[in-house]
């Protein structure tokens, strides 16, 4: 589904140039759950941002089901993103002024889904995420785990082809962290492709494939056998 070739990204400041991605090649199949690991500053978040069309690389190619994405302009990128991708962040990034229901509804509004259908879709996912009794609450009134469930729900409500998760358990204790990981696995089992950046090998163990980055290069790739067999 995703074909990334020779991706290069350089951050420039007045004094120094930092190469974040240095000729990255990466293929992700539909329905795969890929973890990206590596030390701080290895470029994994940059890679995730490029994949999520939040950042532009200097060169290379990024094909998503045969569509080249790097040639799109801002408006096309924004449109492509909202139709095909969902995001889950380490710090949840919910909007404080909106309730749980409204937070989840927001991407549907941007996708111009009619009100009646929006309600149906949001209620459906709220049920699935087990946060029905929280739908009228504001983010500050929820625990970290609950907030991340809302964030996942918001990422999934548009039924994206690809979910990008940036350290989704980083701000959670192990119990809540495991809950979120199980949620992602369930999702993956229903066919959603997931790319996750993580520091935790425990979290990575939930995925099919683990890619290790260092200094902007892919240095190793490991197939997670238990999960891959399931996939086959």
Integer angstrom CA distances of residue 118 from 122, 148, 153, 229: 6, 21, 13, 37
Residues contacting residue 161 through CB under 8 Å, at least 6 positions apart: 1, 30, 65, 84, 85, 192, 193
**How far apart are CB 176 and another protein at their closest, in Å?**
20
The closest alpha carbon to 145, from 180, 121, 113, belongs to: 180
Cβ-based neighbour number of residue 187 at 10 Å: 19
Nearer to another protein by Cβ, of 157 and 210: the residue is 157
Nearer to another protein by Cβ, of 117 and 230: the residue is 117
Q: Which of residues 115-174 bind another protein (CB under 8 A)?
A: 154
93 lies in the binding site for another protein (CB under 8 A): yes
Nearer to another protein by Cβ, of 38 and 107: the residue is 107
**How far apart are CB 170 and another protein at their closest, in Å?**
13
What is the phi/psi pair of residue 142, to 5°? -110, 160
Considering only residues 2, 42, 94, 210, which one is a binding residue for another protein as defined by CB under 8 A?
94
**How far apart are CB 106 and another protein at their closest, in Å?**
6
DSSP H or E run through 184: helix 174-189
Considering only residues 95, 132, 219, 223, which one is a binding residue for another protein as defined by CB under 8 A?
95
Tokens describing residue 80: 């492509």
Rounded distance between C-alpha atoms, residue 66 and residue 30, angstroms: 13
Q: Which of residues 36-55 bind another protein (CB under 8 A)?
A: 49, 52, 54-55
**How far apart are CB 130 and another protein at their closest, in Å?**
22
57 lies in the binding site for another protein (CB under 8 A): no
97 lies in the binding site for another protein (CB under 8 A): yes
Rounded distance between C-alpha atoms, residue 114 and residue 105, angstroms: 11
Positions that interact with another protein (CB under 8 A): 49, 52, 54-55, 75, 78-79, 81-82, 86-87, 89, 91, 93-98, 102, 106-107, 109-111, 154
């Amino acid at each position: 589904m995703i074909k990334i070739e020779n991706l290069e990204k350089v951050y420039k400041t007045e004094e120094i140039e930092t190469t974040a991605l240095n000729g990255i090649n990466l293929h992700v199949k539909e329905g795969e759950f890929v973890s990206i690991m590596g030390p701080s500053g290895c470029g994994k978040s940059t890679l995730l941002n490029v994949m999520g069309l939040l950042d532009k690389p200097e060169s290379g190619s990024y094909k998503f089901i045969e569509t080249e994405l790097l040639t799109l302009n801002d408006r096309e990128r924004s449109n492509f993103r909202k139709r095909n991708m969902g995001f889950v962040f380490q710090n949840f990034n919910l909007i404080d002024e909106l309730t749980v229901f409204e937070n989840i509804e927001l991407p549907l509004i941007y996708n111009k889904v009619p009100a009646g259908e929006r309600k149906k879709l949001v209620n459906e996912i709220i049920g699935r995420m087990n946060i029905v009794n929280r739908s009228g609450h504001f983010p500050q009134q929820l625990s970290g785990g609950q907030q991340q469930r809302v964030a996942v729900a918001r990422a999934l409500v548009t039924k994206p082809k690809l979910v990008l998760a940036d350290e989704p358990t980083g701000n959670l204790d192990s119990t809540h962290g495991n809950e979120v990981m199980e949620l992602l696995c369930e999702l993956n089992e229903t066919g959603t492709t997931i790319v996750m950046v993580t520091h935790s090998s425990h979290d990575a163990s939930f995925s099919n494939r683990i890619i290790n980055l260092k200094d902007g290069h892919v240095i190793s790739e490991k197939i997670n056998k238990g999960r891959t067999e399931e996939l086959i």
